[in-house]
Amino acid sequence: MAIRLHGFLNSSKRYFQVESQPHHITGIFKRIMHSQSLYRCEFTDVHSAYYEDEADGTITFYQANQDKNSQPGIWTYLVYECLESEEKVFSDTVIDTSISHLLVLLAGQKLPQVTVNICEYLNYKNYDCEYLDVQLPSELNNQTGREIAHLLLEEMKAFKASSIFKEDIGKKYQQAVLEGFMQAAREILAKNGTAKDFETAQYDVLNKIPIDDVANLIIAYNDYRIWQAALPSKSKAVEFAFKTALNLICQIK
């Protein structure tokens, strides 16, 4: 039997309420902004919206006050499939459902997002931080931690910018590089090393990763624009791949 939850009809689902995280709130904020743009209306005209996050299996609802006795709110739930007629909502009255964080976004400010590790920090910075003030974990939020995080972010940006690394061979190289760099970063931060130590470790990682396949892919593209777009690069991994390709070309000639 279908159930109505915050203005929306749902079936074959069970909902377990969890605390709304900053990325849930920014997600619902984007949906509200989209509705405002689509219907050319004000925030107060949007009575309900929802945002699904496939990555963590949640759905977040916004619902405006329905009458004088109700308050607007934001509710986030973990969602699980269930048989029809077994639908149920498991609420937690302790969880704060106020829209205070949403009002912060509406005022043009960002929400603070303290990450649990450097990997989560980079994922936020690389993909979804338009409305978030993404911060390193407290134990890494120092000069060395910030410098290493910046170097890693430059690597990710460079990979993202080149079509070479959207190919299967390029993706495999990218994955191997980033995994190696992440491991090196963790080890250096654990022993209170420096950013210079990390840069040295980056070259050690690159020298251990098979490079010929991606270098041959660069050559096979046979397009000078690929080189122009990629070089010079702040990424050691991208420069290493293209320099290897250049060395192979010189050997052929």
Tens digits of per-residue pLDDT, 89-104? 999 999 999 999 999 9
Write down the pLDDT at residue 69: 67
pLDDT tens sequence across 24-71: 999 999 999 999 999 998 898 899 999 999 989 999 999 988 666 678
Per-residue confidence band for 130, with pLDDT thresholds at 50, 70 and 90? confident
Percentage of the chain exceeding pLDDT 90: 64
**DSSP-assigned letters across all residues of the chain:** --EEETTEEE-SEEEEEEPPPHHHHHHHHHHHHHHHHHHT--GGG--EEEEEETTTTEEEEEE---STT---EEEEEEEEE--TT--EEE--TTS---SHHHHHHHTTPPEEEE-SSHHHHHHHHHHS-TTEEEE--TTT-SHHHHHHHHHHHHHHHHHHH-GGGGSHHHHHHHHHHHHHHHHHHHHHHHTT--HHHHHHHHHHHHHHS--HHHHHHHHHH--HHHHHHH-S-S-HHHHHHHHHHHHHHHHH-
The mean predicted confidence, pLDDT, of the chain is: 91
Per-residue confidence band for 124, with pLDDT thresholds at 50, 70 and 90? confident
Write down the pLDDT at residue 85: 86
Report d(CA 155, CA 149) in Å as an integer: 10
Write down the pLDDT at residue 128: 63
pLDDT tens sequence across 185-202: 999 999 999 999 999 999
Percentage of the chain exceeding pLDDT 70: 97
Q: Taking 60 as the threshold, does the pLDDT of residue 253 lie above it?
A: no
Q: Taking 90 as the threshold, does the pLDDT of residue 159 lie above it?
A: yes
The count of other CB atoms within 10 Å of the CB of residue 218 is 23
